[in-house]
Amino acid sequence: MDSHFHTQVMHDKGVDTNALLSALFENGFKGGIDAGCTHDDIESRVGLLKDFPLVHVAAAMGPWEAGANEETPIDVEEDFKTIETIQAQLDVLKSNIAAHRIGIIGEIGLDYYWKYGTRKKQIFLFEEQMKLASSIGAPVLIHDRDADADTIDVIGRFPLERGGIIHCFDGCIDLMHAALDNGYYISFAGNLTFKSNAALREALKKVPLDRLLFETDSPYLTPVPHRGKPNNPGFVLHTYECASQVLNIPLERLKELVLENFRRFLCV
């Protein structure tokens, strides 16, 4: 089970995603979540995944949809977005979500590493989608990069009945506690396997087993021993293996626990 991957991005990079997913399911893959990135990517992703009902489609505008970096501009001015433009794209997203009966909002959040748009615009986009999730009773997938304090603030101010998932958790203990207090699950990606990430492996030990998930974020964050290659949901096994060793839990039992968590998250 892979709680977060990007089928469209893999497809755009030349991967035959139909063949890939077919082979994975034939070999025991249990499914996961295909995360959305932009306001207008739902139609294409639904088409790519029509034969795979165990891959649940999420949809959202990620923080990059706040537009080009306005703090230290590196792009032409035409790439900047006004609040009005962002709102219009949110309206398109909402229409597409309703049309396709999407039940998970994500990935949404904040990314201060790349400084998309401005912090004000990123927070506006984040908050509006938290409101959307609340209005339709959906859980969320949270992206947080170098924005722990503001992420904690937003998830605290916008409690959701079904919580969500902190995607690609980076090890911030304050964020972990805030997320758990608000009913979220904590998802670890392939960077858990990186030799330099001992602190992240220590953080793993602090997450309650009934709130634990794993992901690939494919085609990104490829785990050891495949670093340097494009990632795919099949490689999530290496993250499970690493976690099994860190937690001293038999691999098959860990898989069972995480699948139970995922099904509870989906309310199935």
Residue 73, pLDDT score: 73
pLDDT for the residue 51: 98
C-alpha dihedral (180, 183, 189, 191), degrees to nearest 10: -20
In this prediction, residue 72 carries a pLDDT of 82
Each residue's pLDDT tens digit, 51-65: 999 999 999 999 999
**pLDDT > 70 fraction of the chain, expressed in percent and rounded:** 98
Q: Three-class SS of residue 144?
A: strand
Q: Domains in the chain, please, with CATH?
A: 2-266 (3.20.20.140)
Contact 106, 165 (CB under 8 A): yes
What DSSP character marks residue 158?
S
Q: How sure is the predictor about 79, in pLDDT bands with cuts at 50, 70 and 90?
A: confident
Continuous H helices in the chain? 7-12, 17-26, 42-48, 83-100, 119-136, 148-157, 173-181, 198-204, 236-247, 251-266
Task: Give the contacts of 237 (CB within 8 A, at least 6 positions apart).
Answer: none
Assess contact for 132 and 102: CB atoms under 8 A.
no
SS3 14: coil
pLDDT in tens, 168-199: 999 999 999 999 999 999 999 999 999 999 99
